[in-house]
A and B are shown apart, each in its own frame.
Chain A
Amino acid sequence: MKNIAEIRADFPILGRMVYDKNLLYFDNGATTQKPKCVIDTVGEVYSTYNANIHRGVHLLSDLSSEAYENAREKVRSFINAGKREEVVFTSGATGSINAIAFSFGERYIKPGDEIIISHLEHHANIVPWQMMCERKGAVLRVIPINDTGEIIFDEYLKLISSKTKLVSVAQVSNALGTILPVNEIIAAAHAYNVPVLIDGAQGIQHGVVDMKEMDCDFYVFSGHKIYGPTGIGILYGKEKWLSELPPYQGGGDMVEKVTFEKTTYNELPFKFEAGTMNYTGAIGLASALDYVLTIGREDIEIREKELLSYATNLLTSIKGLTIYGNSVSKISTISFLLDGIHQYDAGMILDKMGIAVRTGTHCAQPVMDYFGIDGTIRASLCFYNTKEEIDILATAIEKVITMFV
């Protein structure tokens, strides 16, 4: 594995200053920074072979189409999906969930049917299902959580019934960092022949994700949260589902034959890729996945666990600091509050000290409601962060406390 100095040198932005101070970037849960190889790849597409994919007979179009399809193969192999037909490019995890919520709803959902989500979900895995339930007269059921920020598995088992048509849960809670027991969730649902969608937006970048092993029916994630460009995402779906589901958008490239009387659809995965796709983003994402493989996913997991334990110990020792989400099974995200200090006040002062954290509800208002709070300060770490940075964060938090109390 590269040493930390080499890793950090791969990310140009990590060298910049903010307000004359070194940038400390702890907002990786919102988006990750990009290694130079990704930035260069995107630049290279535009400066050397940019052309619309699957359209032209000319060389550039061939080159970009080939790079786009190679990117699909790269994603397939990265998540160990069975077939490239099972990998659909979308705009992001949100776009992927909306696509399934629409198509699955149109194809299978009847009044009285039930969809199960968890109390830990990001709004992107709540609202599309609410919209679908409203359209179809279905009912949304929610797996409750406990004070450590974990789902209550027994309550989940009680929710599954013959009415359940789909389970859609996060692999990892974005607000608290809790890793959900997705293998057990999937197995329990499959016992009732209920398909499962896993929202991997906060999971894919923190370890090995293997579709064959996980056996979920759908898996979604965003490119920008795994060191890739924004505006590109993945919808993985088992072939049998994707074949049966109707397309959710009509347009170019997703069709086989169009007449005014009837249109037949293209084969998988193109059926779900209407219009000009973000091929630059897809090619950039492939470069990001290559980069992650170079660092090594096992090594990333080990490094991030070390950072989590170091940061948790250090922050816990600060008087008046409360961590929300204390599961033993967590990614390197720490959500916390300081006694008597509003999270925005703390976030603004930390910003002035060069520290980027997120404050607020993290698009997970039900989680905040559960704990009876308006929001938290969230430090989401990743492998390019260092213990020295965590030390600076702790000192900065102490300084914030002296300013307000």
Chain B
Amino acid sequence: MTINEVQNKIIDEFSLFDDWMDKYSLLIDLGKELQVIDPKFKVKDFLIEGCQSKVWLHPDFNGNIITFTADSDAIITRGIVALLIKVLSERTPEEIINADLYFIEKIGLRQNLSPTRSNGLLSMVRQMKLYAMAFDARNKNRVIS
């Protein structure tokens, strides 16, 4: 599935629920299902600044695609991270850099999370894109040299 196909699937899933409590229940379930991160990556180097709860994000690049693993000490945040991983993990750096993440707006995450929480969400997206840019630059340097 393309990034946009995954996003549309998430939007469909959330649109089944009118009530915000149900949407949160879905986020909580997603949070519980999130694959565990290797404990050795739960260190300061992989901690994202700007979140009210702690979020660890680790990128693994095989030269072609980036695989993200992540964790958070808050379950709703884990749910949000799980969504971002569904959309952006196992993609090429270029796909990640160019991704337009419209699903955040569409499922109402941006407005319905508290501003600081929303900042945390934006920090996560920014960090994923930064990793992608770094790996992209590394790839291009390799080609040049």
Q: A342-B73, A344-B76, A344-B117 are in contact. Are A403 and B25 (CB under 8 A)?
A: yes
B76's nearest neighbour on chain A, judged by CB, is A345
Give the top 4 A-B pairs by smallest Cβ distance, nearest first: A342-B74, A344-B74, A345-B74, A344-B53
Residues of A within 8 A of B52 (CB): 344, 359-360
Determine how close the nearest CB of chain A comes to the CB of B18; give it in whole angstroms: 11
Q: Measured between alpha carbons, how far is A404 from B25 in the docked complex, in Å?
A: 9
Any chain A CB within 8 A of the CB of B17? no
Per-position binary interface string of chain B over residues 76-102, scored 1 when its CB falls under 8 Å from any chain A CB and 0 otherwise = 110000000000000000000000000
By a CB distance below 8 angstroms, the chain B residues around A345 are 28, 53, 74-77
Least CB distance from A404 to B in Å reads 6
In the complex, what residues of A have CB within 8 A of residue B20's CB? 19, 352
Smallest CB gap from A342: residue in B: B74
Which one of B54, B75, B114 lies within 8 Å of A404 (CB-CB)? Answer: B75
Q: CA separation between A335 and B24, bound complex, in Å?
A: 24
Chain A residue nearest to B75 (CB atoms) is A345
29 A-B pairs (CB sep. < 8 Å): A19-B20, A341-B75, A342-B53, A342-B73, A342-B77, A344-B52, A344-B74, A344-B76, A344-B77, A344-B117, A345-B28, A345-B53, A345-B74, A345-B76, A345-B77, A348-B76, A348-B114, A349-B21, A351-B114, A352-B20, A352-B21, A352-B24, A353-B21, A359-B52, A360-B52, A374-B73, A403-B25, A404-B28, A404-B75
Given A342-B53, A342-B73, A344-B52, are A349 and B117 also a contact pair (CB < 8 Å)? no
Q: Which residues of B contact A353 (CB under 8 A)?
A: 21
Total interface residues on B, using CB and 8 Å?
A: 16
* Chain A, residue nearest B32 (CB): A404
Say if the beta carbon of B137 comes within 8 Å of chain A.
no
Taking the closest CB of chain B, its distance from the CB of A13, in whole angstroms, is: 18
Are A348 and B73 neighbours in the complex by a CB distance under 8 Å?
no
Q: Which of B53, B77, B113 has most chain A Cβ within 10 Å?
A: B53
B24, B53, B117: the one within 8 Å of A403 (CB): B24
Q: Which residues of chain B from 89 to 145 have a CB within 8 Å of any chain A CB?
A: 113-114, 117
What residues on A are CB-neighbors of B74 within 8 Å?
342, 344-345
Residues of A within 8 A of B114 (CB): 348, 351
Which residues of A in the span 312-366 have a Cβ within 8 Å of any Cβ on B?
341-342, 344-345, 348-349, 351-353, 359-360
Interface members, chain A 1-31 (any B CB < 8 Å): 19
A375 smallest CB distance to B (angstroms) = 9
Q: Closest B residue to A359 by CB, please name it.
A: B52
List B contacts of A352 (CB < 8 A).
20-21, 24
Q: For chain A, which range describes its interface: under 10, 10 to 19, 20 to 34, or 35 or more residues?
A: 10 to 19
A-chain residues with CB within 8 Å of residue B54 when the two chains form the complex: 374
In whole angstroms, what is the CA distance A359 to B114 when docked? 12
Assembled-state Cα–Cα distance A345/B77 (Å): 8
- On chain A, the residues within 8 Å of B73 by CB distance are 342, 374
Most buried by B among A348, A349, A359, A374: A348
Shortest CB–CB separation between residue B34 and chain A, in angstroms? 14
Binary contact track B28-59/A, C-beta < 8 Å → 1, others 0: 10000000000000000000000011100000
Name the residue on A nearest B54 (C-beta).
A374
Contacts of B21 in A (CB 8 A): 349, 352-353
- If A342-B53, A342-B73, A404-B75 touch, whether A348 touches B25 (CB-CB below 8 Å) is no
Q: Does A403 contact B113, Cβ atoms closer than 8 Å? A: no
Contact status B28-A403, CB under 8 Å: yes
Instruction: Output the least CB separation between A96 and chain B (Å).
Output: 27
- How long is the Cα–Cα vector from A349 to B74 in the complex, in angstroms? 12
Closest Cβ–Cβ distance, residue A31 to chain B (whole Å): 16
| Shortest beta-carbon distance from B120 to chain A in Å | 9
Complex CA gap A342/B32 in Å reads 13
Report the separation of the CA atoms of residues A374 and B72 in the bound assembly, to the nearest whole angstrom.
13
Q: Looking across the interface, which residue of chain B has its beta carbon closest to that of A348? A: B76
Bound Cα distance A119, B135 (Å): 46
Measured in the bound complex, the distance between the Cα atoms of B75 and A403 in whole Å is: 11
B7-35 at interface with A (beta carbon < 8 Å): 20-21, 24-25, 28
Find A342's partner among B24, B25, B75, B113 (CB 8 Å cutoff). Answer: B75
Alpha-carbon distance A353/B74, docked complex (angstroms): 19
Asked if B77 contacts A349 (CB within 8 A), the reply is no
Across the interface, which residues of A come within 8 angstroms of B28, CB to CB? Answer: 345, 403-404
* Chain B, Cβ-Cβ closest to A399: B21
- Taking CB atoms, residues of chain B closer than 8 Å to A351 are 114
Not counting A342-B74, A345-B76, a sample of 5 additional A-B residue pairs whose C-beta atoms are within 8 angstroms of each other reads A342-B75, A359-B52, A374-B73, A403-B24, A403-B25
